Amino acid sequence: MVSHCYSFKVRPDYQDSFAIPDGCIDLFFDCSEDKVKALVCGTTLDAQDVLFEPNHRYFGVRFAAGVIPNNIDIASGELINQQLDLLDAIPKMATLAEKLSTETIFVNQANLVEIFFLDEKVQADDSITHHAALYIRQKSGNIRLPESESLTEGFKSYSTTKI
């Protein structure tokens, strides 16, 4: 279910970063000393700028492509090209966010995530979303609607309403 965890501190001379299409959903925690901020980020359809705060410490959880744990009660189609406030969308994540922000050792943070998601079931993506995510990854985000129609019957109308 969890593909991997990652952590980094943004340098004071930070310039630019990009999110690239990969079909994955990330939980992203700003673990700075001010106030815990957390986002649930869906896959992008093209490379997009990501804004980080210099000198802030971040921790992220990436789920395997097409996977959303059941305690994230948001359909994957609603997350494409979206970043939602995780604590507003899923209030029960507040405890995890607080623990992650006070823990500074990466292995301990990863263990907190493992424990939190240990017994979680995974939402089954509908087949169209699953195929669309695979196609986006195979094409490195460079997709054209006419080509994508061959994926499944009705992909054009589905993608128009969902994407």
Mean pLDDT, range 127-137, rounded to an integer: 61
> pLDDT class for 106, splitting at 50, 70, 90?
very high
Are 136 and 45 in contact by the 8 Å Cβ rule? The answer is: yes
Q: What is the pLDDT of residue 29?
A: 94
Are 19 and 82 in contact by the 8 Å Cβ rule? The answer is: no
> pLDDT class for 140, splitting at 50, 70, 90?
low
Could you say which DSSP state residue 92 is in? G
* CA–centroid distance for 163 within its chain: 16
Amino acid at position 116, single letter? F
Record the pTM.
Answer: 0.70
Higher pLDDT, 25 or 155: 25
Higher pLDDT, 130 or 160: 130
Mean pLDDT, range 11-22, rounded to an integer: 83
Query: How many Å apart are CA 120 and CA 115, to the nearest integer?
Result: 10
